[in-house]
Structure formats: C-alpha cells, structure tokens
Amino acid sequence: MLEVRKVCREELFQVAQLEREIFSDAWSEQALLDTWGRQAIILGAWDSGVLAGYLILYYVPDEGEIVRIAVKEALRRQGAAGMLLLHAREFCREKEVRKLFLEVRESNVPAITFYKKHGFRADGIRKKFYTNPTENAILMSGEIVE
C-alpha cells in the first residue's frame, strides 16, 4: 500500500538517487535541498518504506508548476503518479493555488496521456526546450477544482 507524504530533508538523498535513475538531466541532492527550502513542496510516494516516486511543485498565489514527477520504472502503472498528483492538488487547494502548469517532452506519450487523463490540456510548444537529447516541450495546464 502506498503512502504519500512530504519528503523530509533527511530523505532528499533518496529523491536524488531516483533522479539519477530516471532523468538524463538529474537534479543533484544540493539542488533538491535548495528547492526544499523555497516556496516548493516535494511529495514522496512510499511503498513499504521504499521511495517509489516523487513530485516537486513550485507555487505562488494562484499558480503552481509541477517541475518533476517520477516513479521507479518497476513500479509504474500502479497508481503512484496519480496519488502524487491527487495529494499535490489537495495541497494546492490549501494554498489557494487555482491552476497548475507543467512541461513534458514531446516524445513522452505515456506522460502526456497521463496528464490529459487527469484534466490537463496542451497549451503550446516550447521549441528545443530539452537537451540530451534536444526536444520540444509541450506546455500543459490544469485547473484546481474545489
């Protein structure tokens, strides 16, 4: 059974480790620590005490940006990303954030499908946004409903 909660400072090394496993442009533990101390929240999905996935959200009044959402490859398609997004939306309601934004690689069809399933829509394209490899980003947004 998955447990979703805020990541503690002492657990950031686990997020950094998962970053390295999943992303070619992984954030360092120091970058995560810098984010952790700002107007951001890092949520983790824990499966029997093991970090299965995480979501990083920056927020200001009215708006939030999902800058990372990732799940261990072996644990994908088991609901962790959906639970992380659900908890992020609950957090947004508490903080009076009304709209979420994100970017996703144009080739990441599973992620685009996931976001659309959860109420996000494509708003535009950011040309050559990603590197390693160079790729366009699809800009997406979703409303936070009461």
Q: Which residues are catalytic?
A: 103, 115
The distance from CA 6 to its chain's CA centroid, rounded to whole angstroms, is 13
Rg (CA), the chain: 15
DSSP 8-state assignment for residue 41: E
Cα–Cα distance for residue pair 111/108, rounded to 1 Å: 6
User: Measured between alpha carbons, how far is residue 85 from residues 81, 130, 139, 141 in Å?
Assistant: 6, 23, 17, 13
Ramachandran sector of residue 79 (left: φ over 0; alpha: ψ -120 to 50; beta: rest)? left
